[in-house]
Structure 1
């Protein structure tokens, strides 16, 4: 197994075992166990440690969503070429994004592609219809210490996040990708997309019984 395949295999396992969610943010509590998941910062720090334990060194990388520098990723150098890892957008970005060439792939009924510009890479996402810009990744980023400081202070202004006041949760389970936005559970796979409206009790039962979130409830 080459290094790219190894990282992508670990990435897939991470998407299955560590959920994306904003439950800590909504409850205004500190995440003291990164294995419980969280937003992009929590997931980036957790996956970085997983990679380190597998002998793979990465760097923190700061990027933009909706023209706001609020998203954290990882970068890794493989054979003197740079790749980006997006573990924390809430969507199943299961492949590395090379800095030097555009890519396109589909998974769970959705698609990702990139465009390369002189000083940045743009990641696009498509569920139905046309691609929409998801993340702008500058090739040159802040220092590691500055990104860590941004992570430490990330909740001082929650309004910069598109999910600051309503539930977001996602995880891969079996052959499907599950995504909760507010009170709607959407299930994606290669065959179909299913929407289901949930009550507050149904949301918390689902989080606890199906996805293993036992110690945090949604205040929704």
Structure 2
């Protein structure tokens, strides 16, 4: 074994040029190292001291008890996670039901909003037709339809859109009626002054 551990540096050195062998010189191979004869020993019974056995046995029992504790904890955790999973499944089902209810409510509410919006727009158009065209520029256009409708209602209640033209009934006489003439000689000077200035 010593031969295999030592390193022969001659194998790594450069070799000088070797002359061609002559028939008189014969190349002999290097002798192989001899192997030690193998001896087969029968395994004898190995004796362990009692103190060492007790020490290993004590550690084994300690590890076994720790393993039992860990397995019990794992079983408890598995049971708790299954309980929580059951609660989560119930919670998931209830939230899924709530979600479908809310979706239905949103759908019906959006339909109702569309109907009311169409109604408000119709009322707004009717109010705008009643307003004289010269006042259309005064109505705010950037408001939402319901706000514009409320604005128009308040403006009409305050008399904002009253026309300055008098409405004359159709078919009535347009000429002023003849007033009764009074005899000016019979009037007192105060009555004459009142008649001259138009007060009655």
Pick the TM interval, shorter chain: under 0.3
TM-score by length of structure 2 reads 0.15
TM-score by length of structure 1 reads 0.14
Larger relative strand fraction: 1
Larger relative helix fraction: 2
